[in-house]
């Protein structure tokens, strides 16, 4: 099922999407499919899978540490794509890859997208690829039928926002706050205002998902009630993996249960 179809199906049911992020290969490549399965069983609607990178500029300490664990375990971009193919072979769920552009550049655009297509990747997020420099990337992504998911932040101007909305597909990734990734226990009023500011420009055509700092069920509910179509949760799941690195059963049960709590929060009351 495509990303677009998933968001439409959920909207028809009165639900927002729970997008769960994990780092491919953290703590070991052979565990990632099991972690993904626990997330999906818990209720994740879209899986976001990171490719480990040595200089993850958008990530806070939690995901930086996950990058290091994955790299130390020998995880490569090709291995993450193989894991994606394995997950897609068992679950009818969109899988989005998050990677930095240096990795794509070194592999080569055509080669990377050939591999991604064969691995059944649905969409790709590249945090350090500006929309102004993405013409060749976008052309090749479109040719392979893979969604290009761009990010917009609180500092994005209206002129640039319109360009990003025009170029993004799958969904628009809203960075909820200034700074890097990481679980926060509170939800700033500015995040709600940001959602309300962007919605008129979406015009109901592109799903809007909010990430960075989202970790609590009440935060998920708040952004869905504000009009967002999905919530992206990453660091909270990565923290569970880190704390239970040597206790696989507890890790998987905790991820499954936490995903279930978050998914319940995407279902609006009265629907």
Report the catalytic residues. 48, 59
Q: What angle do CA 135, 127, 2 make, to 5 degrees?
A: 75
**Cα 184 from Cα 96, distance rounded (Å):** 23
Residues 6 or more apart whose CB falls under 8 angstroms from that of 126 comprise 98, 99, 100, 101, 104, 137
Q: How many CB atoms lie within 10 A of CB 183?
A: 19
Q: What separation, in Å, do the N-terminal and C-terminal C-alpha atoms of the chain show?
A: 23
How many Å apart are CA 263 and CA 18, to the nearest integer? 6
């Amino acid at each position: 099922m495509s990303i677009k179809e998933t968001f439409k199906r959920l909207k028809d049911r009165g639900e927002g999407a729970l997008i769960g992020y994990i780092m491919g290969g953290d703590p070991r490549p052979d565990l990632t499919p099991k972690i993904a399965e626990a997330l999906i069983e818990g209720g994740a609607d879209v899986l976001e899978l990171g490719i480990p990178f040595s200089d993850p500029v958008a990530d806070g300490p939690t995901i930086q540490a996950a990058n290091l664990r994955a790299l130390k375990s020998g995880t490569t971009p090709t291995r993450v794509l193989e894991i994606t193919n394995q997950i897609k072979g068992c679950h009818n769920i969109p899988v989005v890859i998050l990677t930095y552009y240096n990795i794509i550049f070194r592999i080569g655009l055509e080669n990377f997208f050939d591999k991604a297509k064969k691995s059944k990747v649905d969409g790709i997020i590249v945090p350090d690829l500006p929309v102004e420099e993405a013409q060749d990337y976008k052309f090749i992504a479109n040719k392979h039928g893979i969604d290009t998911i761009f990010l917009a932040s609180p500092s994005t101007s209206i002129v640039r926002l319109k360009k990003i909305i025009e170029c993004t597909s799958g969904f628009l990734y809203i960075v909820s706050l200034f700074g890097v990734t990481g679980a926060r226990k509170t939800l700033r009023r500015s995040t709600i205002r940001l959602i309300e500011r962007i919605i008129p420009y979406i015009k109901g055509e592109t799903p809007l998902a909010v990430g960075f700092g989202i970790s609590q069920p009440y935060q998920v509910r708040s952004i869905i009630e504000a009009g967002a179509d999905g919530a992206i949760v990453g660091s909270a799941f990565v923290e569970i993996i880190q704390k239970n690195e040597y206790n696989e059963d507890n890790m998987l049960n905790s991820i499954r249960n936490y995903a279930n709590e978050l998914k319940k929060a995407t279902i609006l009351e009265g629907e």
